[in-house]
Amino acid sequence: MKEIISHFDIKNEVADPQPLKIGFINDSFIVRAKNQGEKSYFLQRINHHIFQNVEGLQRNIQIVTDHIRKKLAAAGETDIDRKVLELVPTKDGKLFHKTAEGDFWRVYVLIENASSQEKVTPESAELTGEAFGRFQCQLADLPFDALCESIPNFHNIEFRLWQLDEAIKEAVRSQKSEIRYQRYEACADIIAWIDKRREEMCLAERLFREGKLPKHINHCDTKVNNILFDEQGKPLCIVDLDTVMPGFVLSDFGDFMRTAANTGAEDDPNLENIHVDLAIFEAYARGYLREATFLTDIEKELLPYGCRLLSYMQTVRFFTDYLNGDTYYKIQYPEHNLVRTRAQLRLVEEQEKVADKMREIIQRIN
Ligand code: GN1
Ligand code: MG
């Protein structure tokens, strides 16, 4: 680990990296300054099986953080170092270090005195909505194709359904004794449930093809825990920029609601816990719409649909991984991906029940 750190342009003395348990994808470590008052760092091993174009990924992050830093400076903001992430280059000026074993590492400056939350209150949701709205707005003047898709077709539901269909085909072809066959056979109800909603859920992609729905730069992982709050509980900085890429604003709005406006957990084994928290929905939407001033009418109109779309997409993704034998998401117990699937599926059903109420709320705020 010490060796890894030595490749980066870190000028102060630091302690050994300590592992952090966050995220399902990358491995993260904290690298503390030895002397008080000096910079500490956040070291990550990038999962290059998932992010196959590490160069493009790191370039995306650099473009986005530079752009936001400029916007913050132009707006006369203070404490900018805590409001936007900063990549630390390697000593030879690269944005990542590749080891002889083929691992990819990167370093950020650690944002001090900041913490993440797993749940929000209506008060913090409004501030969070503003923060994500501002984030999108700051990036709205970048052409959407200024960034690459760090994971191709990441939030493309047509592609996710295709992946599911491939997983099903593989499962059907496999031996009856294999786990994928058994999982497939036991989950006919889930497959039928997904099929019933296919057409509706591909609407956004169709509208894009017809030129009716634009793409912008999105964060594409707007879970509550991807925002850092300061000591007063105010949003400070948006983190986890691996998936910043072109997409529909529905992605960011919907993914936040998927995690925050759910009274249950993403992997709640008790489906009775799962309902839509309309107070959170309303508060977040109010903050978001206040800041995301670039939105077109169709984008605003589709926001409630975006909530269902993202929960549905997550259902499909968790379920595909379950059928594939849990190769993508880290799991904590053998049936974890099935539990996650059922919890997300229930959330879609709950969002369907309150779709009209969501629409009324958006109209009222607008
Ligand atoms: C993954 O690793 P994490 O928690 O930031 C995933 C998201 C999913 C999420 C589900 C690159 O995010 O898309 O919504 O898990 N990220 C990637 O909790 O696949
Ligand atoms: Mg994350």
* Predicted pLDDT at 150: 93
Position 120 confidence tier, pLDDT thresholds 50, 70, 90? confident
Q: Is 321 in the pocket of ligand 1 (CB under 6 A)?
A: no
Q: The tokens 């270090």 sit on which residue?
A: 97
State what percent of residues in the chain have pLDDT above 70: 100
Over range 38-57, report the average pLDDT: 96
Q: Pairing state of beta strands 216-218 and 97-98?
A: unpaired
What is the pLDDT confidence band of residue 143, given thresholds at 50, 70 and 90?
A: confident
- Burial pattern 238-260, b for ≥16 Cβ within 10 A else e, equals bbbbbbbbbbbbbbbbbbbbbbb
Provide the whole-model pTM: 0.91
For residue 266 and ligand 1, the question of a CB distance below 6 A is answered with: yes
Torsion sign across C-alpha atoms 118, 284, 288, 211: positive
Per-residue model confidence as pLDDT tens digits over 56-80: 999 999 999 999 999 999 999 999 9
Return the residue whose CA atom lies nearest to atom 10 of ligand 1: 314
Q: What are phi and psi of 238, to 5 degrees?
A: -95, 130
What is the identity of the amino acid at 306? Answer: G
Report pLDDT for 229. 94
Whether residue 24 has its Cβ less than 6 Å from ligand 1: yes
Residue nearest to atom 15 of ligand 1 (CA): 24
**Residue 266 corresponds to which tokens in the numbers above?**
């993403």
pLDDT at 274 over 90: yes
Residues present in the chain in total: 366
Q: For ligand 1, what atom is nearest to the CA of residue 318?
A: 10
Measured from the alpha carbon of residue 245, the closest ligand is: 1
Distance from Cα 221 to the centre of ligand 1, integer Å:
6
95: confidence class by pLDDT, cuts 50, 70, 90: very high
Using pLDDT thresholds of 50, 70 and 90, give the confidence band for residue 98: very high
Output the pLDDT for position 341. Answer: 98
What's residue 1's pLDDT? 80
pLDDT grade for 225, boundaries at 50, 70 and 90: confident
Looking at residue 46, what is its pLDDT? Answer: 96
Ligand index nearest the alpha carbon of residue 227: 2
Q: Encoding tokens for residue 71?
A: 């916007």
Nearest ligand to the CA of 311 is 1
Could you say which ligand is closest to the alpha carbon of residue 218?
Answer: 1
191's CB contacts (< 8 A; 6+ apart) are 168, 184
> 25 in ligand 1 pocket by Cβ < 6 Å?
yes
Closest CA to 348 of 135, 120, 157: 157
44-48's contacts with Cβ under 8 Å and 24+ in sequence apart are 44/105, 44/106, 44/107, 44/108, 45/103, 45/104, 45/105, 46/96, 46/104, 46/105, 46/106, 46/242, 48/102, 48/103, 48/104
Q: Is the CB of 320 within 6 Å of ligand 1?
A: no
Residue 304 has pLDDT above 80, yes or no: yes
In which band, very low, low, confident or very high, does the pLDDT at 48 lie, cut at 50, 70 and 90?
Answer: very high
pLDDT tens digits, 333-350: 999 999 999 999 999 999
- pLDDT tens-digit map of 148-191: 999 999 999 999 999 999 999 999 999 999 999 999 999 999 99
Evaluate: CB of 22 within 6 angstroms of ligand 1: no
Distance 65 CA to ligand 1 centre (A): 20
Average pLDDT, the chain: 95
Whether residue 162 has its Cβ less than 6 Å from ligand 1: no
Decide whether any atom of ligand 1 lies within 6 Å of the 126 Cβ: no
